[in-house]
Amino acid sequence: MTLNTASIYSSDASLNATTANSLQGIIRYDRDLNKRLFVYGTFAGGYDELQDLDYRLMPGSGLSFHAIATDITTLDLLTGVGYTRESYNTGLTRNLVSATIGDELTHKLSSRTTFTQNLYYLPSLNDTSVYRLVTNVGLTTKLVSWVTANLLFNGRYNSQPVLGNKKNDVIFTTGLRICIRRKKRM
């Protein structure tokens, strides 16, 4: 099971304005059916003040394929279906049945540094003019056994943003990840 969250907040004192305020999160469970195929269940959500998004909730599931599965490189190709509920502070609410088509790549550059990339295409099945693209490209470096340093580029595209908002959003972040693991019982 995987749990990821990301939050960004920034402001510009000279403009007396918020320049970023968002929170995104996802929980996902993968289950291998065999060496190549796996199923997944996911629940994602978040908000983005600058996009006027009060919340977006997205449960979903799918069948996926381990295209490459070595100790150095993994490439998973994902397909799935889900439901998206979006509510904007303008009063707009969307209830969409959506597909998921994507890839997730991980490549170990060294024993301590890993390159990651993913791309997701999320088209609405009940309104083909509505779709989102999400991509992440990053590097993680293990500093000690339980702390990693992260660099991440995040690109998001929304084909139908709320009137007055841009379709594209690009974020570059740095941070630390702290891993908490239970000891294995003997």
CB-based contact 135:122 (threshold 8 Å): no
Residue 50: φ, ψ to 5°? -70, -20
Task: Tell the residue number behind the tokens 């394929």, with chain if given.
Answer: 65
User: Do the Cβ atoms of 2 and 27 come closer than 8 Å?
Assistant: yes
Taking only the tens place, the pLDDT of each residue in 63-101 is: 999 999 999 999 999 999 999 999 999 999 999 999 999
Query: Who contacts 16 (Cβ-Cβ below 8 Å, separation ≥6)?
Result: none
Residue that is written with structure tokens 């088509």 in the block: 101
Determine what percent of the chain is predicted with pLDDT higher than 70: 97
DSSP 21-65: EEEEEEEEEEEESSSSEEEEEEEEEEEEGGGTEEEEEEEEEEEEE
Question: Which of the listed CATH numbers 2.40.160.40, 2.40.50.100, 3.10.180.10, 1.10.1840.10 matches domain 2-178?
Answer: 2.40.160.40
pTM summary value: 0.86
Which pair of tokens denotes residue 75? Answer: 């490439």
> Each residue of 9-42: pLDDT tens digit?
888 889 888 888 899 999 999 999 999 999 999 9
State residue 186's pLDDT score.
58
Arithmetic mean of pLDDT, 128-151 = 94
Cβ atoms of 66 and 44 closer than 8 Å: no
